[in-house]
Structure 1
Amino acid sequence: MKKSVAALLLVLLLAAVAGTFVFQERRLLAQNPLNRELPFVSLSKAIADKNDNLYLIDNAKKTILKLNGTGTLLYSIHSEIGKNGEQFRFNDMAVDNENRLYTVRTLLDPYGLTVKSEQIARYNPDGTFDRIIFAQDYNDSKNRWYRIGSLKSPQLKEGSLHFFNDEMTKVTEYRLGPGETEPKPIFSFELPPNKFLAEIDGYVPGQIYYSTRSGEIYSVAMNGVSSMTYPLPGLDRTRRNFPESLRLDAGGSLVFIDYNSKAVSRVDPKQPYIVEELVHAGNAKASGITIPYEKTDISLSPDGDIIIVDDTQLNRRLMDGTFAPTLENANYSNRYIAWRWFVWGAAASGALLLLLAGRLLYVNVLKRRTSLVFKQIVVFVPAVAAAMILLSTVVYNNFVAKMEQETFRELSLLAANGQNLIDGDKLEAIASPSEYRGETFNEFRKKINAVFDNSANSENRGFYKAVYKVENGLIYRILEDDDEMHMFNPFPLTEENKQVVREGKVVNGGWTDDTGSWNYAIAPIMNSSGKIVGIFETSKNMESLLAHRRGVMQSIVYNIAIISGGLLIVLLLMTFIQLSSLRKLRKSVGDIAKGNWETVVKIRSRDEIADLGESVNTMAARIREYIMKVEAFSHAYYRFVPQQFLRFLNKDTILDVELGDQVEQNMSTMICNIRGFYAMSKRLTPEENFNFVNSFLKRFGPYVRNHSGMINKYSGAGFMALFPGSADDALIASVEMRKELELYNSHRDNSGYRSVDIGIGLHKGPLRLGIIGEEQRLESNVISDNVNVSNILERLTEPLGASILITDSVVKAIGDPGKFQFRNLGLIQVGGMKEPLHLYDVYQGDPDTVRALKERTKARFEEAVTYYQVGRFYDAREAFLMVIKQNRQDKAAQLYFYLCDEYFQNGTTEDWNGTLSVS
């Protein structure tokens, strides 16, 4: 159990580690590990650093990618979600000489339209966030910013960060110098009347240029006065040649995109009448590239290349006028691919570890089997839940379809109402971007806002409004809820807007892109003569509807969970009632299986289970009767074969014993015999002999069992006992038996019987226990030379004058020899044995007088034995003589004395080896 719990805890710990790691890298799980390329999905800007690394704003301004010169992805930065569902977007960026990235982060409302706040954030060279450089909130409801804010053109010049803040009528330049913590305003200028800033570049007063929403480019003098640089009177350009994505190159020329001409142009402010088209359809096509000019932006690399991005591709015009191959995706590095596989592997490992943990918990720790109730739940609840989900899906789909129809109806009505909001004659009269925020523009904006923005808490939130002008078969943007879009930018022709222009119908539809999911309706705008001169678009970010759908789905899931829970409770209750009798039966049967044979099953349900209970009671009664017989038989048999003997053979019952079963053990063997038993038995009748032997064994047998021993065999004069534990148990039992002999003899004397004496031999060593005999007659037995040694020791007790003789193997096995009284008898050579025995006389259980005399002479006796063993017979004889003078009954000392005297007088034989021969 402990190992299973430890394994479970280890598996859970590993699963937690894997889960934590995967959660931190969960973004990688959304990527196919087989993909080696990252396609661009919605590029909006790209810049290059001095090392030719590229920094791209991709994924609808939600991601920044850093690529090296070969197009390999070095890192990616992902935008965040605000605490109330707001969306962060990257709108601009710059990089310093230390490869630190500065970005303009814009926080939009949950619908992705209105700007809530804006920051300039700095990231370290490895893409990790460093700090916020500058931040400002937009709380003015009258002057709203749509999609982009007022922070413009971050750029690193001479080690300092420069950027501009558009304050509607005034523009302020800020600088963050080396070592400074807060940017400071260093220059500001007023915009010309009725002009609104679009883009700005440069940082030194006198060399700052900006474009306006009305399509002009101005230069700013050192005194802050603005003067128009482009287009000048007489320039071969229409007011539709709107300059966008304004950039100032190293030579002081202005580079910009001309959507009307579908070209990237360059103008030298010193020669403003010369407009050079650096990139146009001709040279692009000749180089095998195509620029759609739909979401195009440009930047200038440090070496003067023009970097052009357009939605899903990046092109580069080199300084020599040639083009680099089109780049449509980033390549993942091998390290990134390996790391992504590692994350996927960690996720798979975590899932497998959880499965393994469940198995360990259920099988190894709880050791549970699947219950009937659980089986019913597994089958019944999913079936009901599936049926409910199917029904709910049908209802939900119908509900969603009706909601979408209602949304399209609402959008169609609002789009059709554009005819009332937008005067077609005034729209037709708008001719150029110079009328941006003019009288007609502001009138249109005011009417639209009055309808759509009348309440901050109304359902009108999330609507996107746009007005387009139809002119010569082309469609131009006039007014939109996007401050990035400029007047008279061409709008792509689609089948839907062609249908509106051609048939004058209201058309609706929907699309999903990286900015969200949108439904729209477009309707024609007519002049007073009934001619279609424009299109009014009303689209809605479906985030609110999707949120409502998610709420409905959550409600459905919640209700399904509640109903499923209720059904589960009902099922459990019914199952509990129906299976209560079965549980009683199971419990009773379990009690019977545990050995509680008196258990009676009481079931009153009057059904099949009750009948089964009665059958169980009948069966239990018969089992009880049978077990009683078996137990009686076992108890009776254990009198013949000790249970310890079966345990040594690893057998549970006598039924498991087979002929030949055997095992080797290291045990202490005790032989205890009554001295002179055969002479005494001749004086007794057979009945008296039986009574005497049984009385003797009854008196001395318990001492064996009390000290973890077992009597293996009885003989007429005593018994043989085995002690599987420590040698101390065997020796203590021997001493207590010797002490009990004194009390036993006193009782015999009082009853008129003669006293008896016993001899005990004790030896420790390996022996083999097993079953001998033949198939029809088996017997337990012990086979070992060590048993013969114990028999010899018992026979030597009388000639050596000892009551308990032990070998040195017993002495070595004793835990604390100091708690026993014994003396060293030396090496004794016994007839019939090749090797002498090293024997000890244990006199601790002898009568007090005998024990005291042996204890008093112990040191002199053992000294004499030592003299004898080294051949100093004279010294030995004298020492033994002194022992005999003090203890005349010491037979061992007498044997040694006579032998020492003989060897001293006559010398030893050639084969003498320092032993005492005893026959």
Structure 2
Amino acid sequence: MKKSVAVLVFALLLAAAAAMFVFQERHLIKQNPLSRELPFVSLSRAIADQSGNLYVIDNSKKTIHKLDKEGTLQYSIHSEAGRNGELFRFNDMAVDELNRLYTVRTLLDPYGLTVKSEQIVRYDAGGKLERVLFNQDYNDPKNKRYRIGGLKSPQIKQGELYFFNDEGSKVTEYRFAEGDAEPRAVYAFNLPGNKYLAEIDGVTAGSIFYSARSGEIYQALADGTSRMVYPLPGLDRTRRNFPESLRLDSAGRLVFIDYNSQAISRLDPAQPYIIEELVNTAKTEASGISIPYEKTDISLSPDGGIIIVDDTQMNWRLTDGTLKPSFSSVRYSAGYAAYRWMVWTVAALGVLLVLFALRLVYIDLLNRRTSLLFKQAIVFIPAVAAAMVLLSTLIFNNFVSKMDEETYRELSLLAANGQNLIDGDRLEAIDSPVEYRGETFNAFRQKINTMFDNNSDSANRGFYKAVYKVENGLIYRILEDDDEMHMFNPFPITEENSKVAFEGKVMTGGWQDDTGVWNYAIAPIYNSAGNIVGVFETSKNMESLLSHRRELLQTIVRNIVVISAGLLAVLLLMTFIQLSSLRKLRRTVGDIARGNWDTAVNIRTRDEIADLGESVNTMAERIREYIGKVEALSQAYYRFVPQQFLRFLNKDTILDVELGDQVEQNMSTMIFNIRSFYMLSKRMTPEQNFNFVNSFLKRFGPYVRNNSGMINKYSGAGFMALFPGQADDALKAAIEMRREVELYNTHRANSGYRPVDIGVGLHKGPLRLGIIGEEQRLESNVISDNVNVSTILERLTEPLGASILITDSIVQSLDGASGFQYRNLGLIQVGGMKEPLHLYDVYQGDPDTIRTLKDKTRARFEEAVTYYQVGRFYDAREAFLMVIKQNRQDKAAQLYFYICDEYFQKGTTEDWNGTLSVS
């Protein structure tokens, strides 16, 4: 259990580490690991360094990619989120000789509209943020900036960074050299009256050129004044030939985009009336490329080429005027692709670890002995959580649907109200960008701001407003909440806005892009004649609504969590109370299982568990009764089949015994019998015989068990016993039983009964114990020639005048042979046996008189046996005669004496081998 918990904790820690790593690289999870290319998504800017590497701002200004000459990705820089949900965007950039990247990083409000602050930041050659060089805050609510701020045109000249800060009516140039603590102001100039900065390029006073948002190009002179260089009187250009993306080349010429002419033009300030079209529709079509001129930007490469970016593609005009084919994606490097695979692999491993942890919890741990409280917790908590998520999702989706409907109604009303905000006749009178922030423009802006910006409620923030003019079947931008957009930029005609511009319908819709989720409504603007002259758009960044939705969802989830937690707490409390009764029941059952049969459970909950407790008590009572019967039955079984016998067969109970079970053992065999029992039994009735035998065996059986033996079989008034241990145990049991005979005869004499005598034969050797019979009748038995030897020894005890006869196998196995009294009887040849037996007479348990005489004559007796065995019959006869004179009851000496006399008188047979024949 502890090992499983440790593995579970380790798996969860690894999964958490994988999750943290994947979260840090979460932008890679959004990419298909099988794809070797990354398509451009909403390009806005591209520059090149001296080595030909490209730096592109992609993904709606949220990402900067560095590409090598072949278009292979080197690194990516991803924008961050502010502390309060603000959005960072990259608006411009420059690169120095050390491949360090300088960017204008803009902080927008959570809706992606209003600029909060801007920074000039530097990244090292590997794309790691080094430091913030300059910071500009925009806190004036009366002078809001939309989408872009005042920091413009970062440039590297002679290893130093230059950039401009648009302060409204004044523009200040800053320089930052290596070793400087912060940028220093090096030049400033004032904008002409009622002119507002659009774009600027150049670093030296007199060679700095900028465009105004009203469509002019000015030269900033050394004295701080400005001189207009475009468009000059008489120039073949209208006010709608607005110069976009103004760039200054190394020869001091101005390169810009003209959306109205759909061309990239070049102007030499020294010859302002000559305008070259470097790229136009005819040239692009001839080169097989297409430039839509919608979100187009240009930059100049170090070799004088023009880099053209347009939303999802990049083109390059070389110095010789040719156009390179478009490309719309970057190739991943092998290292980047491998790293991306590693992120996906770590994510997959994290998922597998979570699945493995769930398997441990819901399969392994649940299959183990685990608390019911824990099991209920891990089952009910996910179930309640799933129900909570489902319920909150249903509530949330229903609420979102209603809020979307309400939002579209609100936006439709606001868009339709544009007719009251925008005077159609005055809108129709606006003719060129010169009227930017003019009287009509400011009047429109003031009315719109009064309507939309007077509510500080966050739910009413995030509105995007735009006014478009409809003219000659085209739609032009006039006023927007985006300082990047200029007046009279053509707006693409779509199915939705054409219905508004040309049919007078009010349209609603929504879209989602990298800038966020938007809902919009557009409505027509009419002049006094009733003609459609414009379109009013009001869009809403749904971040505020989504934030409100998230707050609502969090509130719903929080309330459901609280309610669910309360329900779970009640459930777990009730489970705990029930478990207390179950634990009491478990302890009782455990006590019963350990053999405490008198244990009783006492549960007072008056429910099913209490009923179960009563059932357990009843069961315990039945078990007590049954166990009593089983124990009695087991004891009865052990009377018939000794427990030691079952152990020899490796059986636990009699139920495990099968026919044919057997095992071979080396042990001592004892045959114990009453001599002349047949004559004795004839004097008794059958009942007296049974009583006598049971009384006799009851008296002598314990001596066998007390000396580690077991009685295997009863036969008449005797038994066969086995001693698996030392031979000393068997001999001690025989001696003790012989002594008990004397005491037993004393009691019989007192009762008027005749004395009895016994014979004991002991032999040690291998034998086979097993179960014989047939399936319906089994019996334990011992089969061995050694058992026959013990039987023969018992039969020889009377003719040899001994109570206990043992073979030399017993003598050789004795550990304490010196502690026993016995004498060597020599080799005895028994009829029916091929080999003679080397027997010993154990007289230690004999009556004191006999024991004393045998012990006294032992040496002379054994000497005589030796004489006999070597054929010195005369000497043996004389020695046995001396033994008989001292112990006239020594039958063994008498038997030897008569045989010695016969062999001395008549001689032996040819096959005599020194043995004594006894039949």
**TM-score, with length taken from structure 2:** 0.70
Moved more, 424-433 or 56-65: 424-433
| Mapping of residues 107-122 of structure 1, within 5 Å | 107-122=107-122
Instruction: Give how far 1:257 is off.
Output: 0.8
> Contact between 2:811 and 2:817, CA under 8 Å: does it hold in 1?
no
* CA spacing shift, 1:672–1:531, aligned 2, 3 Å: same
Instruction: Give how far 1:4 is off.
Output: 3.7
Q: Give deviations 1:263-318, integer Å, cap 9, x for gaps.
A: 11111222222111111111111111111111111112222221111111112222
Task: Report what 1:90 is aligned to.
Answer: 90
Cα distance in 2, alignment partners of residues 144 and 630 from structure 1: 98
Give SS of 2:134's match. strand
Is the counterpart of residue 204 in structure 1 residue 204 in structure 2? Answer: yes
Give SS of 1:149's match. coil
Instruction: Give how far 1:334 is off.
Output: 4.2
Task: Report what 2:53 is aligned to.
Answer: 53
> Contact between 2:728 and 2:815, CA under 8 Å: does it hold in 1?
no
* CA spacing shift, 1:594–1:551, aligned 2, 3 Å: farther
Instruction: Give how far 1:253 is off.
Output: 1.7
| Mapping of residues 766-915 of structure 1, within 5 Å | 795-796=811-812
Task: Report what 1:22 is aligned to.
Answer: 22
Cα distance in 2, alignment partners of residues 644 and 342 from structure 1: 68
* CA spacing shift, 1:380–1:456, aligned 2, 3 Å: closer
> Contact between 1:381 and 1:567, CA under 8 Å: does it hold in 2?
no
| Mapping of residues 54-93 of structure 1, within 5 Å | 54-93=54-93
Task: Report what 1:445 is aligned to.
Answer: 445
| Mapping of residues 675-754 of structure 1, within 5 Å | 720=723
| Mapping of residues 136-147 of structure 1, within 5 Å | 136-147=136-147
Task: Report what 1:329 is aligned to.
Answer: 329
Q: Give deviations 1:514-569, integer Å, cap 9, x for gaps.
A: 21222223333344444433322222112112222333344444455556667767
Q: Give deviations 1:8-47, integer Å, cap 9, x for gaps.
A: 4444444344334333333333333343332222111112
* CA spacing shift, 1:578–1:215, aligned 2, 3 Å: same
Q: For residue 298 of structure 2, what is the amino acid of its counterpart?
A: I
Moved more, 601-610 or 431-440: 601-610
> Contact between 2:40 and 2:313, CA under 8 Å: does it hold in 1?
yes
Larger Cα-atom Rg: 2
> Contact between 2:642 and 2:712, CA under 8 Å: does it hold in 1?
no
Q: For residue 37 of structure 2, what is the amino acid of its counterpart?
A: E
RMSD of aligned alpha carbons: 5.5
Instruction: Give how far 1:233 is off.
Output: 2.2
Give SS of 2:460's match. coil
Instruction: Give how far 1:416 is off.
Output: 3.2
Give SS of 1:189's match. strand
Task: Report what 2:132 is aligned to.
Answer: 132
| Mapping of residues 128-277 of structure 1, within 5 Å | 128-277=128-277
| Mapping of residues 470-549 of structure 1, within 5 Å | 470-549=470-549
* CA spacing shift, 1:646–1:561, aligned 2, 3 Å: farther
> Contact between 1:133 and 1:182, CA under 8 Å: does it hold in 2?
yes
* CA spacing shift, 1:16–1:452, aligned 2, 3 Å: closer
Task: Report what 1:285 is aligned to.
Answer: 285
Cα distance in 2, alignment partners of residues 51 and 281 from structure 1: 30
Task: Report what 1:101 is aligned to.
Answer: 101
Q: For residue 795 of structure 1, what is the amino acid of its counterpart?
A: V
* CA spacing shift, 1:634–1:98, aligned 2, 3 Å: farther
Q: Give deviations 1:662-712, integer Å, cap 9, x for gaps.
A: 8999xxx998999xx999xxxxx99999789667667766xxxxxxxx999
Q: For residue 452 of structure 2, what is the amino acid of its counterpart?
A: F
Give SS of 1:112's match. coil
Q: Give deviations 1:429-457, integer Å, cap 9, x for gaps.
A: 32222222223322322222222222444
Cα distance in 2, alignment partners of residues 120 and 225 from structure 1: 27
> Contact between 1:713 and 1:721, CA under 8 Å: does it hold in 2?
no
* CA spacing shift, 1:122–1:608, aligned 2, 3 Å: closer
Number of matched pairs? 773
Q: For residue 484 of structure 1, what is the amino acid of its counterpart?
A: E
| Mapping of residues 296-335 of structure 1, within 5 Å | 296-335=296-335
Instruction: Give how far 1:262 is off.
Output: 0.8
Task: Report what 1:464 is aligned to.
Answer: 464
Task: Report what 1:910 is aligned to.
Answer: none
Q: For residue 311 of structure 1, what is the amino acid of its counterpart?
A: D
% identical aligned pairs = 66
Task: Report what 1:358 is aligned to.
Answer: 358
Cα distance in 2, alignment partners of residues 796 and 769 from structure 1: 22
Give SS of 2:316's match. strand
* CA spacing shift, 1:204–1:402, aligned 2, 3 Å: same
Task: Report what 2:419 is aligned to.
Answer: 419
* CA spacing shift, 1:363–1:770, aligned 2, 3 Å: farther
Instruction: Give how far 1:150 is off.
Output: 1.2
Q: For residue 277 of structure 1, what is the amino acid of its counterpart?
A: E
**TM-score, with length taken from structure 1:** 0.70
* CA spacing shift, 1:694–1:183, aligned 2, 3 Å: farther
Give SS of 1:316's match. strand
Instruction: Give how far 1:572 is off.
Output: 7.9
Q: For residue 811 of structure 2, what is the amino acid of its counterpart?
A: R
> Contact between 1:291 and 1:310, CA under 8 Å: does it hold in 2?
yes
Give SS of 1:69's match. coil
> Contact between 2:19 and 2:347, CA under 8 Å: does it hold in 1?
yes
Instruction: Give how far 1:659 is off.
Output: 6.1
> Contact between 1:215 and 1:242, CA under 8 Å: does it hold in 2?
yes
* CA spacing shift, 1:556–1:771, aligned 2, 3 Å: farther
Q: Give deviations 1:795-829, integer Å, cap 9, x for gaps.
A: 2488997569xxxxxxxxxxxxxxxxxxxxxxxxx
Q: Give deviations 1:311-356, integer Å, cap 9, x for gaps.
A: 1111222222222222122233444444434433333333333333
> Contact between 1:230 and 1:272, CA under 8 Å: does it hold in 2?
yes
> Contact between 2:249 and 2:304, CA under 8 Å: does it hold in 1?
yes
Cα distance in 1, alignment partners of residues 595 and 615 from structure 2: 18
Instruction: Give how far 1:56 is off.
Output: 1.8
Cα distance in 1, alignment partners of residues 405 and 388 from structure 2: 25
> Contact between 1:712 and 1:721, CA under 8 Å: does it hold in 2?
no
* CA spacing shift, 1:330–1:780, aligned 2, 3 Å: farther
Moved more, 51-60 or 595-604: 595-604
Instruction: Give how far 1:581 is off.
Output: 10
Q: Give deviations 1:77-118, integer Å, cap 9, x for gaps.
A: 221121211111111122222322222111111111111111
Cα distance in 2, alignment partners of residues 466 and 127 from structure 1: 37
* CA spacing shift, 1:645–1:195, aligned 2, 3 Å: farther
Give SS of 1:94's match. strand
Q: For residue 461 of structure 2, what is the amino acid of its counterpart?
A: R
> Contact between 1:712 and 1:720, CA under 8 Å: does it hold in 2?
no
* CA spacing shift, 1:200–1:698, aligned 2, 3 Å: same
* CA spacing shift, 1:777–1:291, aligned 2, 3 Å: same
Q: For residue 255 of structure 2, what is the amino acid of its counterpart?
A: V
> Contact between 1:672 and 1:719, CA under 8 Å: does it hold in 2?
yes
Task: Report what 1:914 is aligned to.
Answer: none
Task: Report what 1:550 is aligned to.
Answer: 550
Is the counterpart of residue 431 in structure 1 residue 431 in structure 2? Answer: yes
Moved more, 34-43 or 359-368: 359-368
